[in-house]
Structure 1
Amino acid sequence: MDTTNTSESPATETDYVRWLDNIWAERLLAARDRKPDLSVGILLWPTFPMMSLTGIIEPLRHAADFADNSRPLHCRWSIMGAPGQAAVASCGIRVQADAPYINPTDFDYIAVIGGLLPHLRAEPSKHRDYLRVAASAGVPIIGICTGAFVLAQEGLLAGRKASIHPFHAEDFRLAFPRLAFSVRDDFLIENDRITVPGGVSILSLMTELIRTHCGPDRAAKAVHQLSLTEHKGLSAFDHERVSTFRRVEDSRIQRAIVLIESCKGQGVSPEQAAEIAGLSPRQFGRLFRETIGMTPKRFIVETRLRYARFLVENDTLSMTEIAYETGFSDAAHFSTAYRQKYGKPPKLFR
């Protein structure tokens, strides 16, 4: 007779494993007869990014139950594959499938997490078969990171615009010249297809899905649990909203813009931007002016001012703190540059 008590601390490693198994068995039994508000089936491609997987599961886990009990009540998720099948992440960690290929209509979404581009054709063949069945059944499909490439390869992005990471933009354009894409969106939802470039953007998407299916209280819980409570500044998502410049066709100028905007215009010079573009400073300056309509130096200053305006309107920092935060020598210099750009001093915008 098994006398393991889940309320007591395990004494040995064997007891610990059994203790964990019993806890999860209890949780699954408690959740079995309740239809979840949100369920996601996950397909992992070889060399997938671990952050994308945790970016799906952790918001669902926190939204799925009250307090920190982690019972899969409101939300459920399954990593699908053949029995014994495991996928190796790009960091080398093996992740075992915990479910067979479940009927896709049992899920609200099927999430495809792509891997490194050279390995996109190395997935289990049943993954793509399952995707086609899910698409035929009308189940919304999410392409995460290079998962968007997988969807495009299967013809599942026809007539839709995809959200692609700037790092993969040129690869996507060359591979799928007839498909529209954006490098300026955290995610795009278009006709039962969702694309997200990966990284922290997956948290933004999952928050939106939780809000839609489970309500704002569940979404707020997930956001709260995934945030540092001591942090009083803006979130990563808020900071990224500052970067609003549209994609340009010339990939060299695009790389320079990504560099400048990722730094919010600080600690980067026109010479550094020229270097990442692979051009001499003179060539870069001329091409930048022709493409963007201003000098690289002016673009850097305007990037800092866009960031400053966002802080003025959305944060509680003082004007002096914002001046230092955005790379101005003092509040007076900041106020002058701000007025020249926006026609009014920053205090009037707050």
Structure 2
Amino acid sequence: MEPRPILTSPAARTGATSPIRRRQDETRLSVGFILAKRFTLCAFANFVDVLRLSADEGDRSRPILCKWTVVSDTMDAVTSSCGISVQPKERLGDPSRFDYIVVVGGLMDEMPNLSPAFVRFLHQAASAGVPLIGVCTGAFLLHQAGLLNGYRCCVSWFHHADFLEQFEGLNPVADQIFVVDRDRLTCSGGASSAHLAAYLVDKHVGRAQASKSLHIMIIDEALGAEKPQPGTTLAFKTRDPIVLRALLLMQQNIDMPISVAEVAKRIGHSKRQVERHFRVALDISPQAAFLSIRLSLAHHLLTTSQKSIAQVAVDCGFCDSSHLSRMFRRHFDCTPLALRQANGLAS
């Protein structure tokens, strides 16, 4: 018996994505989707639309260069988190007919485990060398299925530590828009789904098709995996990727502030490099930026929530209400209590 032809690249060994398969038609990229219950429609739609717009001339949407389908074990319609349902088109079958299989997750609080049939299908895909993609909380579903052990994976910056603790052994990355680690690709959803899809189109179909898709979707340009996630609105405006990553890491540790040395270590740079980039980009030290972020959050909580000043102090990483009051007065020229009274709020 002749050996079975290799359908994908040695992605698991090299980190590269799978090459174009030899097909009878013009298809260069075939993607199968698994939708979890209460999946996020935006993440799914962004991914599919990049494939759709790359597959044909203009926006005619014929699945020529790219093909995609939703697979299922039951063929039941799957309801998204916004209430819109999607009807699967194919049974699970042989996973090796796809170049990639994408698992689209959904709401954190309602995240179900994948069915045994889906788990078997994904393990078969992994054994066949088909790269697996986790979108939104799809990364957590892959991890629950035992398919992310030893892999880095992208998670959204707002996934709190207490949530991540539920996934022992997970190696999360929260300062990139997507992560490619050998034959596992992950992104946090939203607009990052479009950029991950464009990355695949660029590799397998062509850069022109990837760019065309994003332009039609009114996305200025394709972003590489290393680009930082946008995070929440900051008073600091910069395009310096080192500063952006540091600021996002600070945001994720507001209640338990970490040192600049630790920030630098986690983003892979020296403390001196980080300090120099902050001075050039923002004309401020990292320590002062971190304090400003914490005080800005404290100001927001004091004017929009019913939390006590003592609780706001704890939530923003201050020792106690006295410590918060001293720092707050220096920064805003008033105390937390005075701010609340001026806004007609109880202390």
Q: What TM-score, normalized by structure 1, do the two folds share?
A: 0.61
Give CA deviations for 1:237-290 in whole Å, capped at 9, x if unaligned. Answer: 899366322536746358xx9xxx9xx97x9564226879984348836469xx
> Residue 117 of structure 1 corresponds to which residue in structure 2?
108
Q: Is the 8 A contact 1:61 1:71 kept in 2?
A: yes
Superposition deviation, residue 203 in structure 1: 1.1
Match of 2:300 among 258, 264, 272: 272
Distance verdict in 2 for CA 1:268–1:284, change over 3 Å: closer
Distance verdict in 2 for CA 1:281–1:82, change over 3 Å: closer
1:174 matches 2:165: yes
1:68 matches 2:78: no
> Residue 245 of structure 2 corresponds to which residue in structure 1?
244
RMSD over aligned CA atoms reads: 3.7
Q: Which amino acid aligns with 1:252?
A: D
Q: Is the 8 A contact 2:47 2:197 kept in 1?
A: yes
Distance verdict in 2 for CA 1:171–1:213, change over 3 Å: farther
- Aligned residue for 1:280, secondary structure, equals helix
Distance verdict in 2 for CA 1:280–1:186, change over 3 Å: same
Superposition deviation, residue 117 in structure 1: 3.4
CA distance in 1, matches of 2:174, 2:154: 6
Superposition deviation, residue 55 in structure 1: 1.3
Higher RCO by CA contacts (8 Å cutoff, separation 6 or greater)? 2
- Aligned residue for 1:184, secondary structure, equals coil
Q: Which amino acid aligns with 1:48?
A: F
Distance verdict in 2 for CA 1:205–1:271, change over 3 Å: same
1:95 matches 2:127: no
Map 1:291-330 to 2 at 5 A: none
Distance verdict in 2 for CA 1:81–1:284, change over 3 Å: closer
Q: Is the 8 A contact 1:252 1:278 kept in 2?
A: no
Distance verdict in 2 for CA 1:99–1:214, change over 3 Å: same
Match of 2:149 among 137, 141, 158: 158
Superposition deviation, residue 144 in structure 1: 0.8
Query: Which structure 1 segments of 5+ residues have no match?
Result: 1-31, 232-236, 289-294, 300-350
Q: What TM-score, normalized by structure 2, do the two folds share?
A: 0.62
Give CA deviations for 1:46-93 in whole Å, capped at 9, x if unaligned. Answer: 000001110111000000001121111110101001464211101111
Q: Which amino acid aligns with 2:29?
A: L
Distance verdict in 2 for CA 1:89–1:239, change over 3 Å: closer
Map 1:129-148 to 2 at 5 A: 129-148=120-139
Superposition deviation, residue 109 in structure 1: 0.6
Distance verdict in 2 for CA 1:298–1:190, change over 3 Å: farther
CA distance in 1, matches of 2:209, 2:175: 27
- Aligned residue for 2:245, secondary structure, equals coil
Query: Which structure 2 segments of 5+ residues have no match?
Result: 1-22, 222-226, 231-238, 258-262, 264-288, 321-326, 332-347
> Which protein is richer in helix relative to its size?
1
Distance verdict in 2 for CA 1:84–1:168, change over 3 Å: same
Task: Quote the sequence identity (%).
Answer: 31
Q: Which amino acid aligns with 2:195?
A: S
1:191 matches 2:182: yes
CA distance in 2, matches of 1:82, 1:179: 27
CA distance in 1, matches of 2:113, 2:136: 16
Match of 1:227 among 218, 228, 234: 218
Distance verdict in 2 for CA 1:200–1:59, change over 3 Å: same
